[in-house]
Amino acid sequence: MDFDASKALSGEKTVDELSDELFGLIADVCGGERTKSESLGHKEYCIPYKYQTSKVGEKEICEK
């Protein structure tokens, strides 16, 4: 992940300060800056969902 919001938990920064930082990061990426993952060569991701009732990638899901 490119953004660390844990400073809100420790009190080092406010949620508003972190929101501004996150907005800046999003704007930079939208403007063409590479994410850390892209810089490391990662191109594809799959985020599995816990307690999923159907298997991801099966034809029946795509055909619905």
Structure token digits, residue 64:
């619905």
In a domain, 1, yes or no: no
Q: Closest Cα to residue 22, out of 36, 2, 8?
A: 2
Cα separation, 57 vs 47, in Å, equals: 12
What per-residue confidence (pLDDT) applies to 33?
A: 94
Domain extent for 46: 7-63
In a domain, 39, yes or no: yes
Q: Closest Cα to residue 19, out of 30, 35, 32, 3?
A: 3
Q: Based on the structure, what is the number of domains in the chain?
A: 1
Half-sphere exposure of 48 (CA within 13 A, CB side): 8
In a domain, 2, yes or no: no
* pLDDT tier for residue 29 given thresholds of 50, 70 and 90: very high
* pLDDT tier for residue 45 given thresholds of 50, 70 and 90: low
- Higher-confidence residue of 4 and 42: namely 4
Half-sphere exposure of 31 (CA within 13 A, CB side): 6
